[in-house]
Structure 1
């Protein structure tokens, strides 16, 4: 058996709605200029670390696909195949989708706001049917199964789809020695970290993953992480960025 491959996780660069501090969810905004720079820096960091992916997985949303393109261009690795998977899409924030977080905090109060935003089981009220149908007709979801676009989701629901993707698509490739780069979203990557590290509900609720900072996992032959929680390639910068995310209320 070959030695297990490595897994690098990367949250996409800052999007337009990230910059506006809005619940993005299944909306499909582009990257900001700052997000483009984050993706390019991530690619440079990956290249300098010696990491060369055999395959890149993204979600079907443009902010991850554009991040992948910029990262691979920065690495000089544009020939690496990229596959989009809806299971890696961001969580559906239901009726919160597109809303400004500070307005909702004032409207809902801190307890309800945190329950819908960060808890393991909490799901916001469903988004209106017109918005749901519009999202389903968008380019990011063309040809995907109905379960790819939910009217609302809890973090628990995201974890279920990400766990299935891990067992069906990521774990077998890592076992065969492939090095993988997964470019996802705050919640889909938190879900993947829960699966990898067997996080408790409290641990995943407290976890924040900043945009643009590669997180590396190496594995034992049994495909157990050698370091629980992985290792950021630039740990000081990543910790600072994660603290800023936490101060703003979390991923």
Structure 2
């Protein structure tokens, strides 16, 4: 049996403040740190041994992975960071309070921006302090590749080639893999491995800091079971249709 653990980072400061975060590199709250430590306890209790880890370029996901690996005493495993696993870029919405944005633009429009599959938010202006070109961690990436406002569809188009090329081979080789990432980059992976239709995937939520344990048949991506390890904070999962 091959095991894949997907974990959304613990609560961030902008999660707490109800702000659109996206590519902005905000840290964990004390609660977020505690969620990552609790995730480690859950994984350790089941005796899961990991072979490799993956995360984004964003410190909320990186620190969640660090804290989890420290808690299970497996900090020695190889870890790869790649910006392609970053959160969806929320464009000009970055930094805005979600409720204030609803008050200004209306609930329906904000719902479309947040929960449609293929409608992107307004693009971020190049002069904005939140434009990715102003962040030194992306200086080696061609500017035309950096997103300035993504729909979930666009996020999938960024995340899934990396997942298929760099992570799937580990799974098919029988390695146990942990991916610490973000709500929308993990939605992209969930959509792929569970074959979720476009119109259904926006409805699946990843609770912060709660490991999703997915068991697969050896040498394949065929899922035999999937569950959130903290049952008290579990969210709905797609049906396991490929058992």
TM-score with structure 2 setting the length: 0.91
| 1:146 CA displacement | 3.0
Instruction: Tell me if the contact between 1:122 and 1:154 (Cα under 8 Å) persists in the aligned partners.
Output: yes
Q: Which residue of 1 aligns with 2:64?
A: 67
Q: Which residue of 1 aligns with 2:228?
A: 232
Deviations 1:126-161 (A, max 9, x none): 011112775323244242343552111110011112
Evaluate the alpha carbon distance shift between residue 117 and residue 133 of structure 1 in structure 2; reply closer, same or farther with a 3 A threshold: closer
Q: Distance in 2 between matches of 1:130 and 1:210?
A: 33
Q: 1:173 aligns with which of 170, 175, 190?
A: 170
Deviations 1:215-245 (A, max 9, x none): 0111234322223xx2112223323xx7xxx
| 1:81 CA displacement | 2.0
Q: Distance in 2 between matches of 1:44 and 1:139?
A: 35
Structure 1 regions of 5+ residues with no counterpart? 243-251
35-44 or 212-221: bigger deviation: 212-221
Instruction: Tell me if the contact between 1:14 and 1:32 (Cα under 8 Å) persists in the aligned partners.
Output: yes
Q: Which residue of 1 aligns with 2:53?
A: 56
Evaluate the alpha carbon distance shift between residue 134 and residue 42 of structure 1 in structure 2; reply closer, same or farther with a 3 A threshold: same
Instruction: Tell me if the contact between 2:120 and 2:150 (Cα under 8 Å) persists in the aligned partners.
Output: yes
Q: Distance in 1 between matches of 2:61 and 2:220?
A: 29
| 1:180 CA displacement | 0.5
Instruction: Tell me if the contact between 1:61 and 1:140 (Cα under 8 Å) persists in the aligned partners.
Output: no
Q: Which residue of 1 aligns with 2:241?
A: none
Q: Distance in 1 between matches of 2:110 and 2:221?
A: 37
RMSD: 1.7
Q: Distance in 2 between matches of 1:22 and 1:234?
A: 25
| 1:210 CA displacement | 0.6
* Greater helix proportion: 1
Q: Which residue of 2 aligns with 1:112?
A: 109
Count of matched residue pairs = 235
Tell me if 1:163 matches 2:160: yes
- What's the secondary structure of 1:202's corresponding residue? coil
Deviations 1:29-61 (A, max 9, x none): 111111110111111111111112111100001
Q: Distance in 1 between matches of 2:109 and 2:10?
A: 28
Evaluate the alpha carbon distance shift between residue 130 and residue 178 of structure 1 in structure 2; reply closer, same or farther with a 3 A threshold: same
Q: Distance in 1 between matches of 2:39 and 2:144?
A: 32
- What's the secondary structure of 2:156's corresponding residue? helix
- What's the secondary structure of 1:13's corresponding residue? coil
Q: 2:123 aligns with which of 111, 122, 126?
A: 126
